[in-house]
Amino acid sequence: MKIQIESRDEKVKKSLRYSIIDGSFYSIMVGFGESFFSAFAIFLRASNLEIGLVGSLPQALGSIAQLYSTKLIKIFESRKRAVLINAFLEGIMFIPILLAYFFGDFRALYLLLFLCLYWVFRMLINPMWMSWMGDLVKPNERGRYFGRRHKFTGFFTLVSLIAAGYILAINKGSNEYLGFVAVFVIAMAARMFSTLFLSLKYEPGYTQAAEASFSLVDFLKKARSTNFGLFVFFLTTMNFSVYLAAPFFAAYMLKDLHLDYFTFTLIIAVPIIVKFLTIGAWGAVCDKFGSRKILTMTSLLISLIPVIWLFSKDIWYLLLVQAYSGFVWAGFELATFNFILDCTGTLKRATAVSYYNLLNGLATLAGAIAGGIIVSFNFIFWSHYYFVFLISTIARFLVAIFFIPKIHEMRHVQKSTYKDVLTSMFLQHHAPFVQSKAIPLHDDPDRKKKPKKYSEDYFVDND
């Protein structure tokens, strides 16, 4: 009897399918779970400062925990094994999160504690998962593959979000806690199914070479003279600016606008719908025109989002604002993800990503705390949140204008204007598709500008 042995290509092909299924279940967890953490905090009568901390402190601590991601790979001798253990523990955390309800006057603080544990397990996974997926997806196919994957994840996030909002709406009042029990239990079950499909994926051979290790101090020393380092500075300062306002949109809708849970859910669902509809097109233009072009355009467009919330309280207007938000964030998030993969090599990726996430987590925490202080001392507008929305807009513009000119594309891509990008997005079946090839930064003969002290491409493996 012949035993058929699968080739590496067949294993990779299957794994990429499993990754889409895993991502779909993971998105159900996000739709039923993470999307309503702020709403649950408001239900537990958290203060504005506590709401800001709920939206930032757990992620910051999770980012710090990522410093141990590479150590976990050594302990478990496998990225896959380490990811599976942390994914299981992440899902289990929904039980103590729900139990925070029974801690009386300290409910919000205990919720914060359990959310911190949830995010530690969640974010320990990130560098290992990105390293793993970076080995499975070819550089010139990343935009299309992850665009396709995001379509599935966006769809399931949307469906689960609306379903969760409906469950909470029909349980409003005396049964409100039971509504949260229902949605968080579904979220936990979805994470368990996600973990199952993660376990079916193939992990290519991976060795932690000694030359791939570098300390946080080394990372920071080289950051100012490398493309990835400058990109990290850009993202962390941008996310500081974003998180000045980000934790308070839910509070603004539920406290100031007095929206019911279902209307609140519809408003936060609109960006997911738009991301679902546009992510494939964003993936194609990322592959064709490069991630930097998309980052430049979307970072400026993202800057407008907080200030346009100031112009009207009308629900239809807010839905339109959210549609715009979903469109630009879809491009920014996909381009960011692809750019990180382009700037880091297999051996150094997990460490580099963990350091980025550490700095990013600290920046979001600082942004949320600063935003909470601004909200607490706002005496200018009728709403406590208007002033922080305005400050966030100004800060985002300043970051984009300062950092974007310093960052350079990592691949040979078709030269284009922003008009070309938008035309290609909406008329893709007429636009020629040009495959782009990942190249080391210092081998690009077409780049006209380089930072004066650009070092060797430190974060890409020199094989």
pLDDT tens per residue across span 279-334: 878 888 887 787 888 888 899 999 999 999 988 889 999 999 999 999 999 999 98
CA distances from 258 to 33, 216, 238, 268, 313 (A): 22, 45, 30, 15, 11
Q: How confident is the model at residue 429 (pLDDT cuts 50, 70, 90)?
A: very low
3-state DSSP assignment of residue 56: coil
Closest listed residue to residue 121, CA positions, set 171, 166, 83: 83
Structural domains of the chain ordered from first start: 9-199+215-440 (1.20.1250.20)
Residue pair 460/344 in contact (Cβ under 8 Å)? The answer is yes
Please state, in angstroms and rounded to a whole number, the distance separating the CA atoms of residues 112 and 108. 6
Q: State the pLDDT at residue 457.
A: 55
Q: How confident is the model at residue 380 (pLDDT cuts 50, 70, 90)?
A: low
Q: State the pLDDT at residue 463.
A: 41
Alpha helices in 93-140 (DSSP H): 94-99, 107-136
Q: Is the pLDDT higher at 232 or at 447?
A: 232
Please state, in angstroms and rounded to a whole number, the distance separating the CA atoms of residues 211 and 459. 11
Residue 225 burial class via C-beta count within 10 angstroms: exposed 0-12, middle 13-18, buried 19 and up: middle
Please state, in angstroms and rounded to a whole number, the distance separating the CA atoms of residues 168 and 133. 35
Average pLDDT over every residue of 262-273: 87
With 90 as the cut, is the pLDDT of residue 406 above it? no
With 80 as the cut, is the pLDDT of residue 376 above it? no
Instruction: Give the containing element (helix H, strand E) for 411.
Output: strand 411-412
Q: Is the pLDDT higher at 353 or at 149?
A: 149
Instruction: Give the containing element (helix H, strand E) for 439.
Output: none
Residue 154 burial class via C-beta count within 10 angstroms: exposed 0-12, middle 13-18, buried 19 and up: buried
In this structure, is the dihedral angle defined by the CA atoms of residues 229, 234, 236 and 237, taken in order, positive or negative?
Answer: positive
Please state, in angstroms and rounded to a whole number, the distance separating the CA atoms of residues 347 and 39. 40
Average pLDDT over every residue of 4-20: 82
Q: Is the pLDDT higher at 304 or at 373?
A: 304
Q: State the pLDDT at residue 38.
A: 86
Task: Rounding to the nearest 10 degrees, give the CA dihedral for residues 123, 125, 129, 130.
Answer: 30
With 60 as the cut, is the pLDDT of residue 212 above it? no
Residue pair 293/190 in contact (Cβ under 8 Å)? The answer is no
Q: State the pLDDT at residue 137.
A: 84
Average pLDDT, the chain: 82
Q: State the pLDDT at residue 379.
A: 64
With 50 as the cut, is the pLDDT of residue 1 above it? no
